[in-house]
Structure 1
Amino acid sequence: MEKSLLKQRLLELKYNNFQDLDVDELLPLMNAMLKYIGDTDPDLRDTLIYSSFSSLILEGRYSNENLRKLLVTSVSNDYLFYGIGRRQDDSVFKRSFSTLIIALILHVNIQKNFLSLVDMEEVADRLINYLEKEVDVRGLVDEKGWAHSIAHVADAMDELVNQKLLLESYRKKVMQTIINKMCYDDDYYLFEENERMVVPVISILRQGTNQFLLIEGIRQIAEDLREKYSSDEKSCLIYRYNFKQFLQSLYFHLEAIDLCEDIRREVKKALKVINQPYYAIT
């Protein structure tokens, strides 16, 4: 289906709340939407394709088997890893919106349990690897809409860590990967990626994962930032900014829900260490 025809059809379907969508059209429509999921037209990509996937997946219009196939496609090299490593490149839209499809399917799986342990581990490995490798962290792109790769993968990570079959070891891997990514030093997180990344961290803590990994990570990074305070390297300043934003988001989220007092104390100590030169503390 050509782009113009797909856009027109999705507009018609949305207007009628998908009531006139025949079962025989489900898979061809899914394939057509996948073809353009990374299109630079924000109305097509975000307003129509993503919102249509969201409606059809959450309303149970696809079979479990079709959802599994869609998941396999979404985590593949042609989607989640399409153009990985490129900066300021339109390929980010395909990667970023693939993570949103993954998040939707994982959300449905929490109720339906159609994914196996092997499926879960494959998805976890792919998402962790993707988060480690993503370098295009732009948020809102002029004329092309949201890229927001880090925020979108945070949504997928949150659905992942809430899966019943996911092993504790994977939750720890996700936690460590998030901590590392919040130390990113190549570009600033300017569109509240820190807030979105805190959400899966909170979910991991709610699952009862040992807090030591997070506490020790915060301590080590705070000390590293204290030692690098006088550096004039741009990368050090970006690293400092990004991690401080993450710590502040983590603290106030935990404070709002009155959770993990030990971690809150550690975050306050870490911010004091990082900002020590400003406070004239010896």
Structure 2
Amino acid sequence: MAMTKELAALVDANPLTITDNELTFMLDHIGDPDGHLRDGIIYTLFGRGFFDDGFTADQRAEVAQTVLDRRDLWRDIEKADTDAIFGRTFTALVGTLILDYDREHSFLTVAQRTAYFQWAVTYLQQEKDYRGYVSGHGWAHAVAHGADFLGAAVRHPQFSQKLVPDVQKSVVTVLRRMTAPFMDDEEQRLAAALVFGLTVGNISVQEWTDWLTIEHTYLWDNYANDNLPSYYRLSAWLRIMQNAYFLLPQRDPNRVSCLAFINDFYQQMGFRG
């Protein structure tokens, strides 16, 4: 396809200039089933478009509004194992770019920013397709991409603390839907999203401690030796706590809660007396 070759030639172009026709194609193919086109070319160009000045101001505005208008983040979200997953998860990644750029340059309207925040904190509550790498199509990785989107929202200086319960609910929903272990470092991305909120002060020490206590207690209360999913959830929780502990600055008081729950896991599992 001629346009694919044209865009591929731009991946390493310096300086980068993206035409309106090229941008239209990129927007039309955010979730293309071809993993190389979607991830290696189009997503790369969206990243460079925002952060290497490849987009004009008008083009940035077009991307922000078109993504909202098309609502691909929600397309077929109630259906399992369809190719629509790629449109959803790569829309989440483009949403991450948009919020990260807006955090530095404040180009969104108030209504757009509010919409992106709302999308970011509710997407993982609705997504049920937890596939990681899909043979023949590349990465779906909904939990990881959704966590990136969540993190971009919660670290934004204009993020509303009223949305913090939805940030927590997103992580809880992912854990409680697990029926198999994560294989592709999803826990690291979930932990990073939470840490972003903690380090910028959008999640308070009290909110963090209270939430960890509730979730830790719930997971242990629902753990049973003969119920493998209940173990997978606890194990994922442990890795989230471990990652959060090491991602937080050394003197951050939020580390105390992480370490307490890590130690409790080892004790209850019999690894430590």
Q: TM-score, normalised by structure 1?
A: 0.85
Alignment-derived partner of residue 84 in structure 2: 91
Q: Secondary structure at the match of 1:163?
A: coil
**Which ranges of structure 2 fall in alignment gaps of 5 or more residues?**
none
Residue 173 of structure 1 aligns with an amino acid whose one-letter code is D
Q: 1:236 aligns with which of 221, 230, 238?
A: 230
Shift of 1:97: 0.8
Q: 1:119 aligns with which of 112, 116, 123?
A: 112
Shift of 1:49: 0.8
Residue 253 of structure 1 aligns with an amino acid whose one-letter code is L
Q: Does 1:154 align with 2:167?
A: no
Q: 2:79, 2:42 → 1: CA distance? A: 24
Are 2:11 and 2:44, in contact at CA under 8 Å, matched by a contact in 1?
A: no
Are 1:83 and 1:91, in contact at CA under 8 Å, matched by a contact in 2?
A: yes
Superposition CA RMSD, Å: 2.5
Shift of 1:195: 0.9
Q: Secondary structure at the match of 1:88?
A: coil
Alignment-derived partner of residue 174 in structure 1: 167
Alignment-derived partner of residue 246 in structure 2: 252
Alignment-derived partner of residue 211 in structure 1: 205
Relative distance call for 1:226 and 1:273 in structure 2 (3 A) is farther
**Which ranges of structure 1 fall in alignment gaps of 5 or more residues?**
none
Relative distance call for 1:33 and 1:230 in structure 2 (3 A) is same
Q: Does 1:269 align with 2:266?
A: no
Q: 1:8 aligns with which of 2, 5, 13?
A: 5
Alignment-derived partner of residue 191 in structure 1: 184
Are 2:148 and 2:193, in contact at CA under 8 Å, matched by a contact in 1?
A: yes
* Percent of aligned positions that are identical: 21
Alignment-derived partner of residue 279 in structure 1: 270
Are 1:154 and 1:200, in contact at CA under 8 Å, matched by a contact in 2?
A: yes
Q: 1:90, 1:259 → 2: CA distance? A: 44
Are 2:172 and 2:215, in contact at CA under 8 Å, matched by a contact in 1?
A: no
Are 1:226 and 1:276, in contact at CA under 8 Å, matched by a contact in 2?
A: no
Residue 267 of structure 1 aligns with an amino acid whose one-letter code is C
158-167 or 51-60, larger mean C-alpha shift: 158-167
